[in-house]
Amino acid sequence: MDEQSRDFEAATRAEATEGPPEEPKEEPVPTRTALLLAGGGAFAILAIFALVMLLRTGVDALVTPTPTAVGGEFSAVRQKASEALARSQAQYDAGQYDLALIEIDAAILYDPDNRADIQELLQKIRQAIIDRDGVPTVQPTSTPRPTSSSGGGSSTSASPTAAAVSVSLRPGFRLHSNREQGVSIQVPSDWTTVNDPPPPLGEEGVVSFVDPSEAARFVISRDPLPPNTTPELYAARLQTQMKELAGFADEQSNLIKIGNLPGVLAIYVLNARSPDGSESSVRVMQTYLGSGRTVIILTGESGANQFEGFKNTFDTITRSFRPA
C-alpha cells in the first residue's frame, strides 16, 4: 500500500473516532422570564377576544333596535290627565263646581288625545255653574235718539242700550273715568294714578293706582280671551299654572258679577317682592271679567302681612268698576 493510501485511511479512522462536531447548547430561560412571557401571551389573547366581542356587540346593536312601546312617551301625561279627571269628577259629584272646573282644566292641559269624557265633564260643569248662578242679564238704560214725528219734524225717544249701572261715590273716594281707557272706577282720593303701567298679568296695562305709602297698588290690565273660553275657564287655567310658582297658595276663588260682567274673584299668596319692597311675599285680590273677546283683570296687591289693612279698599275699588 502506497503512502497516500495509508494517509487517507488514517484520516478516516480519526474522523470516525472523533464523531460529528458538537452543536452549541442554548442557555436555559429563567422561570420568572418564562412566566412573564406566558402571562403576556395570555393577556394578548384576552385583549383580542374582548375586541372581537365588543365589535360584535356594536354591530348587533346597530342591526337590532331596542323595541319601545308605541305612545310610551305620553304615558306620564295621560296618567296625570286621568288623575285630574277623577278629582274633577269627585268635586262635581260633591257639588263643588268651581273646584271641579279647576281640576278639569288641569285634565285638559295634560290630555294629549282630546278625550271625549274630559270634554263631556267640562260641559256638565259649565252648565251646573250657569244653573247655580243664573245667566247674567243686561240692565239697559235709556239713551235718546232722534225719531221722525207725524208732523215731519223730529223728536227723541228712549232706545235701550247696554250701559254701566251707576254707582254712588263712596266717601273718601274719587271717580276715575277715561273713555280712551274704557275705565270708570272709584279709587281712594289720595292714591296716585299711573297710566300704561307694566301689567302684573295680561298683555296690556291700562291704568294703576298707588297708595301714598306705596305699600299697596291696584292695577287694571287686559288680555285676549281665547275662543270658547269663559272667564271661569280662564281663571282655572291661570290657577293651574300658578301652582308651579314658589310660595303659591290659593285662599279664595268664587264667581262674581261686577255690574253686568260675569267673572271670577280670587285671593292668593305668592313669593314676590311687595310694592314697597318691605316683604318677600305678597297677597293678591285678582278679578277676571269677561267682556267680549277680552278679559279685564283687576289686581289689588300688597305685602302679605299688610293685606288685611287694604282688603276692604281693594274690594270697594273692584266692585265699583264699570266699562266706560
List, for residues 243-269, the tens digit of each pLDDT value.
889 999 999 888 888 988 889 999 999
Evaluate the CA torsion angle 160, 164, 170, 175 in order and state its sign: negative
Mean pLDDT, range 204-221, rounded to an integer: 97
The angle formed by the CA atoms of residues 242, 89 and 291, to the nearest 5 degrees, is: 50
pLDDT above 80: residue 51: no
pLDDT of residue 50: 56
Confidence of residue 187 (pLDDT cuts 50, 70, 90): very high
Confidence of residue 127 (pLDDT cuts 50, 70, 90): confident
Interatomic CA distance for residues 128 and 94, integer angstroms: 12
Each residue's pLDDT tens digit, 2-15: 555 555 555 555 55
Mean pLDDT, range 11-25, rounded to an integer: 53
pLDDT above 70: residue 53: no
Q: Residues near 98 by Cβ (< 8 Å), separated by ≥ 6?
A: 129, 232, 253, 254, 255
Rounded to 10 degrees, the C-alpha dihedral 23/27/29/31 comes to 130
pLDDT of residue 145: 37
Q: Which of 290, 293, 294 is nearest to 222 (CA)?
A: 294
Which of these ranges, 82-96, 155-169, 225-239, 290-304, has the smallest mean pLDDT?
A: 155-169
pLDDT above 90: residue 321: yes
pLDDT of residue 190: 97
pLDDT above 60: residue 85: yes
pLDDT of residue 46: 54
Rounded to 10 degrees, the C-alpha dihedral 244/246/251/256 comes to -60
Interatomic CA distance for residues 307 and 283, integer angstroms: 6
CATH code linked to domain 169-323: 3.40.1000.10
pLDDT above 50: residue 97: yes
Q: Where are the domains of the chain?
A: 36-64, 74-133, 169-323
At 217, the amino acid letter reads: R
pLDDT of residue 69: 45
**251 or 77: whose pLDDT is higher?**
251
Confidence of residue 161 (pLDDT cuts 50, 70, 90): very low
CA 14 to chain centre: 111
Q: What does pLDDT average to over the chain? A: 76
pLDDT above 70: residue 196: yes
CB 231 within 8 A of CB 288: yes
Write phi, then psi, for 22 (nearest 5 degrees). -75, 135
Confidence of residue 67 (pLDDT cuts 50, 70, 90): very low
